[in-house]
Amino acid sequence: MIYARPDQISDLDTLPPMPAWVTSARAETLEDVAFLSGAALNHLHLVLGREDVPQSLLRERLALRAAEACVAQSGRPERAGELRDAIAFLQPGDSPGPAGETYLSWQRAVKRPVSVKALHRAIPGIEAGQIAEWVDAGQGAPVARAALVLETVMSAAPRADVSALILADTAIAQALGWDQLVPLLAAGLKRADLRKRGDDLRLAYHRALVSSAVEAVRLSTDLARRAAHLKAVAPKLRAKGAGDAVEMLLTRDAVAPSTLPLPDRAARRLCDRLVDLGAVRELTGRDTFRLYGV
């Protein structure tokens, strides 16, 4: 494992921010919004190639954001904290519930490189052959491909919102040459947008991509700084297994001490030590059943 020196953290100031003309523009026409979404995606593409951005962790955080949006659109009350709990403390044989299933789907979708097998694992209720057919339905530029995929899925399975959004994000990843799915659309779309067609759907997609790409770049910058700080303080940790624990924290949205490769008491002490060092945060606000993350 390579640790960052404290003086290297300042190097993260070179992580380029999204241009102000992308974030401040008030475009209304399809052509103007398409131009902005293209610029936003291009900038995000550069950020996703940065080694100082913890890419697995970024995808997990975006997966949580996408799941939270999908759950809210379905009318359910669960938010990020409840979704984390539903998965982090899930026991073998337990059901995570509808909201937890949504989060599981997004988590699984971002965990492995894009493939029909990986997508089938994320959305097991749909046959692998059907997934392949739907993903192949999209052609052309990223938004055109994603819109066609979503229209195709929603026409065939009107209640498969989560599956449609996962496959639409897959179409964008494939169009941009990304090996991994990056959740972008769900958090930027309204429920009514999923029922739109043609240019109205494309306009909604472009707007969603602008807002989500801006947020993804902001989150990338934040996580890069946090990850660099965690790596910088890691050499101060003396517990056996601390290096593996740090690796887990750098790749997962939330970690329970019981899942770390240390005895239970040592794991809790390590997490508390990292909180004291400002390297991780306790995410629940509880005294028990705590979760920690960068």
Residue 282: what are its φ and ψ, rounded to 5°?
-85, 125
Dist CA 196 CA 116 (whole Å): 26
Q: pLDDT tens per residue, the chain (294 residues)?
A: 433 444 444 455 567 889 999 988 888 899 999 999 999 999 999 999 999 999 999 999 999 999 999 999 999 999 999 999 999 999 888 999 999 999 999 999 999 999 999 999 999 999 999 999 999 887 789 999 999 999 999 999 999 999 999 999 999 999 999 999 999 999 999 999 999 999 999 999 999 999 999 999 999 999 999 999 999 999 999 889 999 999 999 999 999 999 999 999 999 999 999 999 999 999 999 999 999 999
- Residues 100 and 83: beta-carbon distance below 8 Å: yes
Tell me the longest C-alpha to C-alpha distance in the chain: 59
- Bridge partners of residue 255, in order along the sequence: 292
Q: Which residues of 49-85 are buried (b: 16+ CB within 10 A; e: fewer)?
A: ebebbbbebbbbbbbbbbbbbbbbbeeeebebebbbb
User: Can you state the percent helix, strand and coil of the chain, rounding each to 5?
Assistant: 65, 0, 30
pTM for the model: 0.93
Q: Under a CB-based contact definition with an 8 Å cutoff, are residues 256 and 50 in contact? A: no
What's the CA gap between 209 and 46, in Å, rounded?
Answer: 15
